[in-house]
A and B are shown apart, each in its own frame.
Chain A
Amino acid sequence: MPEPAQPSRRNLLQALTAGVFLYACPFAPTWASSIAARSPAPDFTRSSITNHTPVHLRAFRGKVVLINFWATWCGPCLAEIPQLVTWQNRYRAQGLQILGISMDDSSRAALDWVHRLSINYPVVMSDPRLSLLYGGILGLPVSFLVDRAGVVQRRYEGSIAGSQTEQELVRMLRQSSAKP
């Protein structure tokens, strides 16, 4: 059995140079664009703030997942959540799963709004690590549309409570369900 190829000193030097360049270069992939569309959605597990059960992103594989970063201090976030609640009801049977990630500093305020808005999908708390996984969440609302294979298809900055987003959702639910 042949030995696995050893990296040459030149290859190591090239890798090191590339690493230093990417670290220092101002044109390296930016904060917000570092999670690209059509890349696997970074997996995570966090506790639901309503019942403290673990919520695994991976467990939703096979569904179309809409991940919504929000916070109670974000007016546009609160304004769009009733629409998300409607979508969750309307498209649950077709395989839509919405997942809320609160950027609040504590879960108490988030839980209060979960009840006030009758949120009907799991909500977990974010933390710097989770925000980093999704490319940095430096403004709200931000949402990600993940297909049934667990691949990020869209990143939305700003409100998504419009008919265009719903059309994209429906299209993805139909396309995905048509696959074998």
Chain B
Amino acid sequence: MSTQHTRRNFLLHTPVALGAIALALDTSRLQAESATTIPSSALLEPAFVNAQLQRSHAAPWKILQVGFHSMFDQKHIRGAMYAGPGSQPDGLALLRQTVQAWPHTQPILLYCGCCPWTHCPNIAPAWDQLQAMRFSSVKVLRIDNNFGADWADKGYPVA
């Protein structure tokens, strides 16, 4: 194989390889911010939250959906407020605005459910934001698969 041929192969393939690496890094970023960083003591299972909601007319928490509008518009936990996607600066700004007047002891339940738990890009940044704002009673709904499968399809309350 000639040197010229090798150089041409290098020039042809290097941009493709670099592009693939860049794409892999970009998609893995979504995983790096996954929900697994949230301490297990803060996590609540859907069945438990549903039981709590059924038990009393007033929910024990302010419930915030920190996912995407297209999901919230279709269905959300009954009584939940939309607080913007935690993965985006605008979303975190809306979250800060939503909670800014609340006392730091206010019980809050965050949820998303856009994607499988380990791939959710929103929930961990939203949790971090409320920790940074010193909210002391924040819980997170652990949704293993997605909101449809783990909440709506189970007949839990939606609006």
B73, B85, B115, B153: the one within 8 Å of A32 (CB): B153
Per the CB 8 Å criterion, the residue count for chain A at the interface is: 31
Q: Which 8 A-B pairs have the closest CB atoms?
A: A139-B146, A138-B148, A75-B30, A75-B119, A31-B152, A138-B147, A30-B153, A32-B148
B15 to chain A, nearest CB (A): 13
Contact A76 B74 (CB under 8 A): no
B27, B74, B116: the one within 8 Å of A78 (CB): B27
Q: How far is the CA of A71 from the CA of B146 in the complex (A)?
A: 14
Within 106-154 of B, Cβ neighbours of A (below 8 Å) are at: 113-116, 119, 121-122, 145-149, 151-153
The verdict on A2 contacting chain B, using a C-beta distance below 8 Å, is no
Residue ID in chain A nearest B71 by CB atoms: A138
Within 1-42 of B, Cβ neighbours of A (below 8 Å) are at: 23, 26-28, 30-31
Hey, which chain A residues are within 8 Å of B70, CB to CB?
Answer: 71, 103-105, 126-128, 131, 137
Q: A residues engaging B (CB < 8 A)?
A: 26-27, 30-33, 71, 73-79, 103-105, 116-117, 126-128, 131-132, 136-140, 157-158
Hey, which chain B residues are within 8 Å of A78, CB to CB?
Answer: 26-27, 30
